[in-house]
Amino acid sequence: MDLNILEELEEVIKDRKINPKEGSYVSGLINNENDILEKIGEECTELLISAKDNKNLDHEAADLIFHIMVLYANKDREFNKVLQELRERRD
Ligand SMILES: N=c1c2ncn([C@@H]3O[C@H](COP(=O)(O)OP(=O)(O)OP(=O)(O)O)[C@@H](O)[C@H]3O)c2ncn1[C@@H]1O[C@H](COP(=O)(O)O)[C@@H](O)[C@H]1O
């Protein structure tokens, strides 16, 4: 499993927060937690529909994970906490 992509993506998201970039999707969304949460709500619904239709599941799951990562960056919370949480749940 390629977990490096999560680290790379987290770095880009954090950088967009500190150094806003013209035309950047992340820069436009970050710092506005209500917008981020609204987007996560939409992405959850899109994931449910795609699962029921058996269509675009990977695309929609990636969208949801990405937006959760934006939320974590906005809260200055390491996404690694999620991975740690899963690790701690292991039997
Ligand atoms: N991984 C993503 C990523 N995933 C989803 N999105 C955006 O999230 C939005 C999702 O919106 P919607 O679900 O409403 O769907 P949509 O607009 O119809 O587009 P789809 O994604 O469904 O095709 C789209 O505008 C996508 O472009 C992303 N935008 C950026 N990234 C990463 O973030 C990095 C920085 O991006 P910028 O901030 O734009 O430079 C990029 O290099 C990418 O690695």
Q: Which H helix or E strand runs over 60?
A: helix 57-74
| Interval 1-39: pLDDT, tens | 999 999 999 999 999 999 999 999 999 999 999 999 999
- Tell which one of 2, 8, 63, 72 to mutate to probe ligand 1, the residue whose CB is within 8 A of the most ligand atoms: 63
Residue nearest to atom 21 of ligand 1 (CA): 63
Residue 42: per-residue pLDDT? 98
Q: Domain spans of the chain? A: 4-89
CATH number of the domain located at residue range(s) 4-89 in this protein: 1.10.287.1080
Is pLDDT of 91 > 90? no
**16: nearest Cα among 6, 8, 7, 26:** 26
| Interval 58-79: pLDDT, tens | 999 999 999 999 999 999 999 9
Q: Please state the ipTM of this predicted complex.
A: 0.94
Establish whether residue 25 lines the binding site of ligand 1, counting it when its CB lies within 6 angstroms of any ligand atom. Answer: yes
The CA 89 to ligand 1 mean position distance, Å, reads 30
